[in-house]
């Protein structure tokens, strides 16, 4: 009896694998939906739309971007977690996907178990910028000044638990200083506050702060990536500037619902790589201050898990919780 049962299980597994392979050979037969869990126009949305356009052309099927913003990305993410695992509903994520498990005690999905990683797409490092009136020109000078003025130099954030908030508090921890947070209703108002001189410091997304650095309205002190960015090789990292091992960059990538057939995941992975390796894509991303970073599904899955652990440690140290 047990021999028969074992044979049945093996046969079922073979049939399932074969069915997935056949499905992948004909996939896709209709348009795909790429959910971006943020409002249109932001950095994540811009990169997602570039990827979707390239995949549409390569796959000869429309990849439609569907913005479902709200609750720091949770609303759109839940939609994909509950979608059929057939490869036609995808999720384009950035750093909040790994941060939210530490911030929200009860998410309506499991960040690891409910999704199948497809590929990393890019990293968008934050840049530490200051208003030109602040008398510092590099990270070491900012640290030295902050130590003489604890809790007096202000930084703008997009609110509690936002990327700019976490990046700044990680800087406080690792540099041994105390910059004081002024929370705003989003990254845009936080950036405007530093441009006007209302706040002195902000950790801004490269895509949004680069034009103001070039115009002289902001002074860049360092980039928050592990190594210098190909889009701004002249800019030192914050780690080089005096905070060893500091890193705070947005990781962007593509997910599918859990249990999406492996053959389809591999097809999507290949399409992401094909699109983002085009010379035009490299030039476009570099112009936006974004570095292309591709991976296998397994590598992206491990990165999500390690980012959850890293930011979770910062969140616990700050005792942050969002209800």
Domain that holds residue 143: 125-223
Print pLDDT tens along the chain (323 aa): 444 444 554 444 554 454 445 555 689 999 999 999 988 887 889 899 999 999 999 999 999 999 998 888 999 999 999 999 999 999 999 999 999 999 998 999 999 999 999 999 999 889 999 999 999 999 999 999 999 999 999 999 988 788 889 999 999 999 999 999 999 888 888 999 999 999 999 999 887 898 999 999 999 999 998 889 887 889 999 999 999 999 998 899 999 999 999 999 999 999 999 999 999 999 999 888 888 999 999 999 999 999 999 999 889 988 877 75
Report the distance separating Cα 262 and Cα 93, nearest Å. Answer: 20
Residue 85: burial class (beta carbons within 10 Å; 0-12, 13-18, 19+): middle
Same domain, 25 and 87: yes
Do residues 68 and 37 touch, judged by C-beta distance below 8 A? yes
Same domain, 9 and 115: yes
When divided into structural domains, the chain yields a total of: 2
- Inside any domain, residue 242: no
Angle between helix 262-276 and 279-287 (nearest 10): 70
Is 117 found in the same domain as 132?
A: no
Question: Cβ neighbours of residue 253 under 8 Å, at least 6 residues apart?
Answer: 92, 93, 117, 118, 119, 120, 121, 295, 300, 304
Distances (CA, A) of 248 to 126, 182, 204, 310: 6, 19, 11, 10
Same domain? 218 vs 294:
no
Tracing tokens 């700050």 back to the chain, one arrives at 318
Q: How far apart are CA 174 and CA 44, in angstroms?
A: 27
Residue 230 in any domain: the answer is no
User: Coil, helix or strand for 167?
Assistant: helix
């Amino acid at each position: 009896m047990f021999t028969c049962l074992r044979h049945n299980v093996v046969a079922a597994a073979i049939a399932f694998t074969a069915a997935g392979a056949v499905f992948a050979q004909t996939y896709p037969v209709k348009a795909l939906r790429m959910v971006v869990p943020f409002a249109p126009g932001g950095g994540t949305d811009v990169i997602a739309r570039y990827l979707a356009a390239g995949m549409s052309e390569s796959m000869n099927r429309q990849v439609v971007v569907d913005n479902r913003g709200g609750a720091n990305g949770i609303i759109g993410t839940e939609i994909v977690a509950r979608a059929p695992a057939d490869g036609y509903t995808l999720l384009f994520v950035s750093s909040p996907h790994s941060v939210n498990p530490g911030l929200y005690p009860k998410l309506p999905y499991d960040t690891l178990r409910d999704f199948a990683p497809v590929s990393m797409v890019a990293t968008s490092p934050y840049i530490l910028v200051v208003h030109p009136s602040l008398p510092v020109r590099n990270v070491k000078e900012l640290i030295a000044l902050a130590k003489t003025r604890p809790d007096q130099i202000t930084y703008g954030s997009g609110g509690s638990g936002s990327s700019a908030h976490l990046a700044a508090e990680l800087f406080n921890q690792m540099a041994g200083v105390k910059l004081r947070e002024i929370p705003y209703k989003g990254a845009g108002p936080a950036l405007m506050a530093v441009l006007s001189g209302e706040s002195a410091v902000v950790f801004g997304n490269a895509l949004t702060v680069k034009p103001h650095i070039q115009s002289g309205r902001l002074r860049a002190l360092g980039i928050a990536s592990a190594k210098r960015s190909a889009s701004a090789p002249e800019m030192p990292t914050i780690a080089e500037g005096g905070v060893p091992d500091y890193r705070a960059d947005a990781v962007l990538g593509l997910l599918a619902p859990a249990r999406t057939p492996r053959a389809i995941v591999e097809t999507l992975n290949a399409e992401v790589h094909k699109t983002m390796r085009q010379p035009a894509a490299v030039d476009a991303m570099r112009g936006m201050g974004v570095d292309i970073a591709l991976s296998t599904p397994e590598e992206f899955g491990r990165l999500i898990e390690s980012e959850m652990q890293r930011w979770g440690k910062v969140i616990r140290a700050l005792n942050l919780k969002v209800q």
